[in-house]
Amino acid sequence: MAQVEVLYQDEYLLAIDKPAGLPTLPDGYDRAAPHVRGVIEPDFGRVWIVHRLDRWTSGVLLLARSAEAHRALNGQFDARAVKKTYHAIVSGRPAWPERTLAWPLRADGDRRHRTVIDPVGGKPAITHVRVLERFAAAALIEARPETGRTHQIRAHLARAGHPLLGDELYGASGTIGVVERPALHARSIEFTHPITHQPLSIDAPYPEDFGTALAALRSPTP
C-alpha cells in the first residue's frame, strides 16, 4: 500500500487522504490485510477511528490521537454538527439541479449485502445532492449526507436513478472502462476542533483515477 498522505495533524487530531482500496477497519476475513490503523500507527502512534469511509471510497478521513479528542468528536458526529461533502460521478444526466433524498435505509438488506430502501424497517437517512457538472451521459454530483448510514450515498443515488459510475453492486453497467471503482470521493470535512474549539475545514484533492475519469468525460467525442 502506498504511503498515506497527511492532510492535517496536531497532537489531538490527524486527517488523512485515504486511498481507494484501503479499508478503514481490519478485514473480518483477512486480519493481516492492510487497514488505516495498521498503516498509520507505526508512524503516528495510537489513533482512534472517528468515522468510516467505504473501502473503495477515497478522500479525507478524520482520526483522533487521544481518548479525549475521540469522545468530543463522537459527540459532534452524534449531534450532526460535522459537515461532510462528497463528490460522485454518476450515470445519466439528472433533470434536477439539486434535491434532498430521504429514503429510509436498511444495511445488509439482501443476498448481495446491499443497503436497501426500507420504508418500514429502515433507519432515517438524508442526503442533499447538487449537480456540479453535466456530461453527455453522466454528471458530477456534490453529496452532503446528514446521516451516516452504510452505503448511504450509493444507495440513495441508485434509487434516484443515477448510480455511481463503476458501482456494479448498485446497478451501474458499462462504466468500468471509465473508472474501476465506485466513483465516490470524500472531498471535505468541516467541524470544531475538539480541544481548541476552533472551526476547521479540511479538503482532499481528487485522486488520479477520479480526475482521469472527469477528464475523459469532459473530452469531446470524436
Q: How high is the pLDDT of residue 200?
A: 98
For residue 137, give the C-alpha cell: 451521459
Q: How high is the pLDDT of residue 1?
A: 43
Q: How high is the pLDDT of residue 33?
A: 81
* Chain segment 74-90, per-residue pLDDT in tens: 999 999 999 999 999 99
Q: In the annotation, is 54 catalytic? A: yes
Q: How high is the pLDDT of residue 61?
A: 98
Rg (CA), the chain: 18
Q: What CATH number has the domain bearing residue 31?
A: 3.30.2350.10
* Chain segment 104-150, per-residue pLDDT in tens: 999 998 999 999 999 999 999 999 999 999 999 999 999 999 999 99
For residue 79, give the C-alpha cell: 449531534
* Chain segment 15-74, per-residue pLDDT in tens: 999 999 999 988 766 667 899 999 999 999 999 999 999 999 999 999 999 999 999 999
Give the number of domains in the chain.
1
Give the 3-state secondary structure of the chain. CCCCEEEEECCCEEEEEECCCCCCCCCCCCCCCCCHHHHHHHHHCCCEECCCCCCCCEEEEEEECCHHHHHHHHHHHHCCCCEEEEEEEEECCCCCCEEEECCCEECCCCCCCCCEECCCCCECCCEEEEEEEECCCEEEEEEEECCCCCCHHHHHHHHCCCCECCCHHHCCCCCCCCCCCCCEEEEEEEEECCCCCCEEEEECCCCHHHHHHHHHHHCCCC
* Chain segment 142-184, per-residue pLDDT in tens: 999 999 999 999 999 999 999 999 999 998 775 556 788 999 9
Catalytic residue among 17, 30, 43, 54: 54
Q: By residue range, what is the domain housing residue 158?
A: 5-218
How far apart CA 211 and CA 215 sit, in angstroms, is 6
